[in-house]
Amino acid sequence: MIETGRPEALLPLALFMALMLGVSFFVRWQARTGEGGFLRQYFVGNRDLGGFVLAMTTVATYSSVSSFVGGPGMAWSVGFGWIYMAVVQVTAVFLVLGIFGKRVALLARKFGAVTVVDILRRRFRSDALAATAAFIIVLFFCATMTAQFVGGAKLFAAVTGYSYELGLLLFGLAVVVYTTIGGFRAVAITDALCAIMMMIGIVLLFFYVLEAGGGYGAIMDHIAANEPKMLEPFSGGNMPAGLYLTQWILVGICTIALPQSVVRGISYRDTKGLHRAMIIGTVVVGFMNIGVNFTGILAHGVLTGPVASYGGVDNIIPSTIAAVMPPSLIGLAIVGPIAASISTISSLLLVGSSAIVKDVYLHYRGKQGKTTSDAALRRLSMAVTAILGAAVFLIALTPPSLIWLINMFAFGGLETAFFWTLLLGLFWRRANRLGAFLSMGGGTVVYCLTQGLGFKIMGLHQITIGISLSLVLFLIGSFLGEPEPKEVLREFFPE
């Protein structure tokens, strides 16, 4: 670690956060005409994203701080098997956009929907289902956001020598403020800038790791001589086959159902942009995953001790940054991981806020026959976003232990709840309310219970239980219950 408190290490991050705030105020100023109504403006950016920004915001939302810290730390300890596993994430953009991108875009325009829950409510004619979905979103999003705050602030403290709290204050407050003020369009544009900073950060670290390790050839010779297991797919047992399987499910296939990804299908302007985004997104997500994990492996040229001497895998990347970067560039090197953290938080914060404002509050007001003015909507939406952000910020100040596990736990929970409900709901006529309800409710409850009790089948991550059970429950419900009425089906499946 470097000595405490280098002011120059703060400067790049502070400038970057100022840029984020600037973008947000600019977007707010630009949107002052209020075209399309406030909700559409604030929660889906008036459905006006182009291909590049759509790709970048999808990647940046998906890639979290653990992709930058925990992941490459594991690559350092496991070897190439870890990259082989991580590369399944090249599916994370094209699958969700290819399967749901146009489907939700068309449905959202038809119904004037601005959230994924809007569409589910319409499909299954169920307020209880919509409320359950909104609750699951808020619950798991808060857990994920806390993990992102904690991860970013810990990295900040480890690398700059300043305190955890200062880091949290610096980027945590900024992300809550810029999301609250600028809404979706600010989130999308700042996400794109974050994705660019992540890539710069990876290239920078890659370059300095190579240099400090004496060049690519020397590092690879060192690994081949001292860590031959790292060159095997199973890494001498460190990388079991079951892990490959569950990672395909958890961070590959089932990510198509993450509400924060699916909502991006409501936000783009035209299909040309969608097609471009699928290609750009695949290029970028692959570059990041391979780049950052490969850098983790090459850090063997710099960190040659056993993993315990660095205090665990989560400290590998902070230690590497501190060891290889010139002091003047340390500040720049942490912007990438922090960008990964805030670009995830901003999107989750906004979708969480839309779940409370649009999916719950406004719906019940509408049912009571009350209307809400655009000015009141603006105040309410911003207040909810700010309060939700502040709540998570406060939790992160005194973080619960085992925070790193929470990220994957929440991923699995959201996937269990939404995978079949969205996939079957939007593509299968027979899917009905009972099936969706059993699948979302039952699957998620059992997933959480098995996680809580540490119960596994064949040693596999509980996502396998959650996703299988929610399918079975969905099918049982759909065949036992009545099909949805013809007029609903005609809206969703034109004949």
Partner 1 sequence: MTEKEKYRQVCREAAATGIALLVLIVFWLFAGFGLAGSAATIFRLPLWAAASTVGVWIFAIVLVWVLTKFVFRDMDLEEERHD
| Interface ranges with partner 1 (CB under 8 A) | 80, 83-84, 87-88, 90-91, 94-95, 98-100, 102-103, 105-106, 109-110, 216-217, 220-221, 224, 231-233, 248, 253, 270-272, 275-276, 278-279, 282-283, 286-287, 290, 294, 427, 493-495
The answer to whether 181 and 382 are in contact (CB under 8 A) is yes
Instruction: Provide, rounded to whole angstroms, the least separation between the CB of residue 95 and partner 1.
Output: 6
* Unique residue bearing structure tokens 């006006």: 48
Cβ-based nearer residue to partner 1, 135 or 248: 248
The answer to whether 81 and 232 are in contact (CB under 8 A) is yes
Q: Distance between CA atoms of 228 and 483, rounded to whole angstroms?
A: 58
Instruction: Provide, rounded to whole angstroms, the least separation between the CB of residue 381 and partner 1.
Output: 25
Q: Distance between CA atoms of 417 and 466, rounded to whole angstroms?
A: 8
φ, ψ dihedrals at 251, nearest 5° = -110, 5
Residue 257 Cα to chain centre, angstroms: 12
Instruction: Provide, rounded to whole angstroms, the least separation between the CB of residue 106 and partner 1.
Output: 6
Cβ-based nearer residue to partner 1, 44 or 168: 44
Cβ-based nearer residue to partner 1, 14 or 220: 220
Q: Distance between CA atoms of 411 and 385, rounded to whole angstroms?
A: 21
Cβ count within 10 A of residue 361: 16
Instruction: Provide, rounded to whole angstroms, the least separation between the CB of residue 247 and partner 1.
Output: 11
> Which structure tokens are listed for 257?
């159902």
* Unique residue bearing structure tokens 């199973």: 234
Bridge partners, residue 360, by sequence: none
Instruction: Provide, rounded to whole angstroms, the least separation between the CB of residue 218 and partner 1.
Output: 10
Cβ-based nearer residue to partner 1, 288 or 348: 288
Q: Distance between CA atoms of 218 and 210, rounded to whole angstroms?
A: 9
Side chain identity at 177, as an amino acid letter? V
Cβ-based nearer residue to partner 1, 32 or 486: 486
Closest CA to 398 of 239, 217, 168, 141: 168
Instruction: Provide, rounded to whole angstroms, the least separation between the CB of residue 458 and partner 1.
Output: 19
Instruction: Provide, rounded to whole angstroms, the least separation between the CB of residue 86 and partner 1.
Output: 8
Q: Distance between CA atoms of 242 and 227, rounded to whole angstroms?
A: 23
**DSSP for 398-461, written as a single string:** SPPSSHHHHHHHHHHHHHHHHHHHHHHHHH-TT--HHHHHIIIIIHHHHHHHHHHHT--BTTB-
Cβ-based nearer residue to partner 1, 217 or 369: 217
Cβ-based nearer residue to partner 1, 239 or 334: 239
Instruction: Provide, rounded to whole angstroms, the least separation between the CB of residue 224 and partner 1.
Output: 8
Bridge partners, residue 460, by sequence: 457
Instruction: Provide, rounded to whole angstroms, the least separation between the CB of residue 421 and partner 1.
Output: 16
Instruction: Provide, rounded to whole angstroms, the least separation between the CB of residue 237 and partner 1.
Output: 14
In 3-state terms the chain splits into helix, strand, coil percentages (rounded to 5) of: 85, 0, 15
Side chain identity at 92, as an amino acid letter? A
Residue 58 Cα to chain centre, angstroms: 8
Instruction: Provide, rounded to whole angstroms, the least separation between the CB of residue 344 and partner 1.
Output: 22
The answer to whether 77 and 269 are in contact (CB under 8 A) is no
Cβ-based nearer residue to partner 1, 193 or 243: 243
Cβ-based nearer residue to partner 1, 30 or 271: 271
Instruction: Provide, rounded to whole angstroms, the least separation between the CB of residue 318 and partner 1.
Output: 24
Residue 86 Cα to chain centre, angstroms: 15
Cβ-based nearer residue to partner 1, 20 or 93: 93
Sequence-distant contacts of 289-292: CB under 8 A, at least 24 apart: 289/67, 289/83, 289/86, 289/87, 289/89, 289/90, 290/83, 290/86, 290/87, 291/199, 291/202, 291/203, 291/206, 292/67, 292/68, 292/71, 292/72, 292/202
> Which structure tokens are listed for 70?
């925990």
Cβ-based nearer residue to partner 1, 269 or 378: 269
